[in-house]
Chains A and B, each alone.
Chain A
Amino acid sequence: MAEISKDQVKHVANLARLAVTEEEAEKLTEELGSIIKFAEQLNELDTENVKPTTHVLDLKNVLRKDEPKEWLTQEEALKNAPDKKDGQFRVPSILE
């Protein structure tokens, strides 16, 4: 399997919504490279016919009734917001 390149690191950072400087990208390329190399050892195992585990308990379709309940008020929901206006979260412009 391929090593990770600096361009890939920048691409992944964008997917993860992280801003990285050139310097950070270089460091991450090296660090992620060695972690990924370490993870390659899993390829020693033949897992062709092994089922993946997502959860250890065999839970299926845990459903509940869809009924309205008391939860947070608008005021409460906005309480910890860094910026708000007229009962809503305020964010910078979304238009370029």
Chain B
Amino acid sequence: MSLFDYSIKELQEKIHNKEIKVQELVDASYQRIKEVDGQVKAFLTLNEEEARQQAAKLDEREATADEVLFGLPAGIKDNIVTNGLRTTCASQFLDNFTDPLYDATVMKKLDDAKSITIGKLNMDEFAMGSSNENSSYEATRNPWNTDHVPGGSSGGSAAAVASGQVLYALGSDTGGSIRQPAAFCGVVGLKPTYGRVSRFGLVAFASSLDQIGPLTRTVEDNARVLEVISGHDPMDSTSANVDVPKYTDALTGDVKGLKIAVPKEYLGEGVTEEVRDSILQALKKYEELGAEWEEVSLPHSKYAVATYYLLASSEASANLARFDGVRYGVRAEEAESMMDMFKLSRSQGFGEEVKRRIMLGTFALSSGYYDAYYKKAQKVRTLIKQDFDQVLEKYDVIMGPTTPTPAFKVGEKIADPLTMYANDILTIPVNLAGVPGISIPCGFSTEGLPIGLQIIGKHFDEGMVYRAAHAFEQATDYHKEKPALGGVQA
């Protein structure tokens, strides 16, 4: 029994027909973790005892109509709050946060669908990073080649799915943190429209950009998980009161007449030839399937990285003010005054990149600099959003690479923050515009590392994004490839 063998739909049928027990599935998940996670390092905390008890209980009964993820093993990014299950955000500041008091709304929804939480997944500390090297714990490695990074910040989520440790995972995406690791690890990752999924219980990084989304091996599985976690939530005043369509209904395989826009900025400087070729091949495939594509321009793309780092860091500096060593987390013991206690706890608790961003954000919001940096960036954000609005008025979707290069090597970019930030140039604009974007596998580099195709849609038009992604997936075999970890070759 391997989690690589079946889709969500197939497993639900097999459980229903008593061909597979939930306990066998959960067992397969922990068995696989034992085999490969010593190399991959995707998990920070396991939920084994609880998961096995849940599985035994589910095996005693039938799924109801609403329990659409009945008994399926899931991994959860460690910045999503799980009641009673350690939640660290991969930060030593929260190393002792073993007993969170409530469930994030997405966790309640997964629980209602009877999904089983296998454990909590590694990430860049507080979701700040593109390589997982900013984890306070051992950094996750890319299952396709463990000398390479899995991407970030949801690197643990992407790697766990790619290496068959869980069937699906939840990640969060502020500037590409679902799509970039999905591309690097050869899986499907969707950042929903801002407001599509409740952020209640997602430890906030940049509240105007953060979204939770699913990472899966196939587009259909991805649509099924999004159907479960989407929807308005009174606990998140920025979640949208917009009906959740049945995304799986959009997976018709038909893209005849689909209008695709390809921004010239997304195939320009910095994008390697291999990546560009893979995208052009993918576009050719879409032509064969009856879709049409045209080159367009998103003229403000080159300003997205600077805009993002000012805005996201500013929001982070405010959001991370709550970590003060008073109510939870690790407190610096030696402090004698209250102020020293704040400062020492924060300085010892936060890692280098987190502190750098808090500093940048505090600076951009400080008296005398607010207009020049924060407000300026908010205005440029408007221009970037308008670029997308204009193109998406005429086209159904926008396509391009998810990342300029395949997964880079561990240690290659960590020394220079700006080099690392530039890696997110193709994913960041999507968060700034608030539109949905997916990454799906569309090829491999000569080194055997996955390449991702990014598909971007209109606000709340995840259905169209899924339709386009699914049609390509059905016409190609990239999603069927598996990494050779632990001697299990595809």
Q: Across the two chains, which residue of chain A brings its CB closest to B434?
A: A56
Chain B residues contacting A92 (CB-CB under 8 Å) are 335-338, 340-341
Q: Across the two chains, which residue of chain A brings its CB closest to B358?
A: A16
Q: Across the two chains, which residue of chain A brings its CB closest to B335?
A: A92
Instruction: Report the contact-size class of chain B (Cβ under 8 Å from the partner).
Output: 35 or more
**B129 CB within 8 Å of chain A:** no
Chain A residues contacting B379 (CB-CB under 8 Å) are 47, 50-53
Which positions in A face B, CB cutoff 8 Å? 1, 4, 8-9, 12-13, 15-20, 28, 31-32, 34-36, 38-39, 41-43, 45, 47, 50-57, 59, 62, 64, 72, 76-77, 79-83, 89, 91-94, 96
Chain B residues contacting A51 (CB-CB under 8 Å) are 379, 382
- Expressed in whole angstroms, the minimum distance between the Cβ of A40 and any Cβ of chain B is 8
Stretch at the interface among B30-38, B275-283, B302-310: B302-310
Q: Across the two chains, which residue of chain A brings its CB closest to B348?
A: A19
B101 touches A34 (CB 8 A): no
Which residue in B98, B342, B434 is a CB contact (below 8 Å) of A17? B342
**B52 CB within 8 Å of chain A:** no
CA A45 – CA B300 in complex, angstroms? 9
Q: List 18 A-B contacts (CB under 8 A).
A: A8-B363, A12-B363, A15-B366, A17-B346, A19-B340, A39-B310, A45-B380, A50-B379, A51-B379, A53-B381, A55-B194, A57-B459, A59-B237, A76-B101, A80-B328, A81-B327, A82-B329, A89-B326
CA A76 – CA B101 in complex, angstroms? 7
CA A68 – CA B378 in complex, angstroms? 36
Residues of chain B from 328 to 364 with CB closer than 8 A to chain A in the complex: 328-331, 335-344, 346-347, 350, 355-356, 358-360, 362-363
CA A95 – CA B238 in complex, angstroms? 40
Chain A residues contacting B336 (CB-CB under 8 Å) are 92-93
- Expressed in whole angstroms, the minimum distance between the Cβ of A55 and any Cβ of chain B is 5
Which residue in B306, B331, B378, B459 is a CB contact (below 8 Å) of A41? B306
Beyond A42-B307, A92-B340, 6 extra complex contacts between A and B, CB < 8 Å: A12-B362, A12-B366, A42-B377, A57-B240, A80-B327, A94-B338
Q: Across the two chains, which residue of chain A brings its CB closest to B321?
A: A17
Chain B residues contacting A39 (CB-CB under 8 Å) are 306, 309-310, 373, 377
CA A1 – CA B305 in complex, angstroms? 19
Closest 7 CB pairs of A and B: A56-B434, A52-B378, A80-B328, A82-B331, A47-B379, A62-B237, A19-B343
Chain B residues contacting A96 (CB-CB under 8 Å) are 337
Given contacts A39-B310, A56-B433, A57-B434, contact A83 B360 (CB under 8 A): no
Chain B residues contacting A77 (CB-CB under 8 Å) are 101, 327
Given contacts A12-B362, A42-B376, A55-B238, contact A50 B101 (CB under 8 A): no
Chain A residues contacting B341 (CB-CB under 8 Å) are 91-92
Chain B residues contacting A31 (CB-CB under 8 Å) are 356, 417
Chain A residues contacting B307 (CB-CB under 8 Å) are 42
A4 touches B363 (CB 8 A): yes
> Between A and B, how many residue pairs show CB distances below 8 Å?
165
**B143 CB within 8 Å of chain A:** no
Chain B residues contacting A8 (CB-CB under 8 Å) are 363
**B234 CB within 8 Å of chain A:** yes
CA A82 – CA B378 in complex, angstroms? 38
B418 touches A82 (CB 8 A): no
Q: Across the two chains, which residue of chain B brings its CB closest to A64?
A: B234
- Expressed in whole angstroms, the minimum distance between the Cβ of A69 and any Cβ of chain B is 11
CA A81 – CA B380 in complex, angstroms? 41
B303 touches A41 (CB 8 A): yes
B360 touches A42 (CB 8 A): no
**B163 CB within 8 Å of chain A:** no
B327 touches A89 (CB 8 A): yes
Chain A residues contacting B195 (CB-CB under 8 Å) are 56-57, 59
- Expressed in whole angstroms, the minimum distance between the Cβ of B447 and any Cβ of chain A is 30
Given contacts A35-B418, A53-B385, contact A9 B303 (CB under 8 A): no
A12 touches B380 (CB 8 A): no
CA A41 – CA B425 in complex, angstroms? 15
Q: Counting chain B CB atoms within 10 Å of each CB, which of A38, A42, A81, A89 scores highest?
A: A42
CA A9 – CA B97 in complex, angstroms? 31
Chain A residues contacting B342 (CB-CB under 8 Å) are 17
Which residue in B96, B99, B382 is a CB contact (below 8 Å) of A52? B382
Chain A residues contacting B310 (CB-CB under 8 Å) are 39, 42
- Expressed in whole angstroms, the minimum distance between the Cβ of B306 and any Cβ of chain A is 4
A93 touches B326 (CB 8 A): no
A42 touches B303 (CB 8 A): yes
Chain A residues contacting B302 (CB-CB under 8 Å) are 41
Which residue in A17, A38, A76, A94 is a CB contact (below 8 Å) of B418? A38
Residues of chain B from 440 to 462 with CB closer than 8 A to chain A in the complex: 459
Which residue in B306, B329, B344, B346 is a CB contact (below 8 Å) of A42? B306
Given contacts A19-B344, A55-B208, A92-B337, contact A9 B359 (CB under 8 A): yes
- Expressed in whole angstroms, the minimum distance between the Cβ of A33 and any Cβ of chain B is 11
CA A50 – CA B300 in complex, angstroms? 14
CA A92 – CA B331 in complex, angstroms? 11
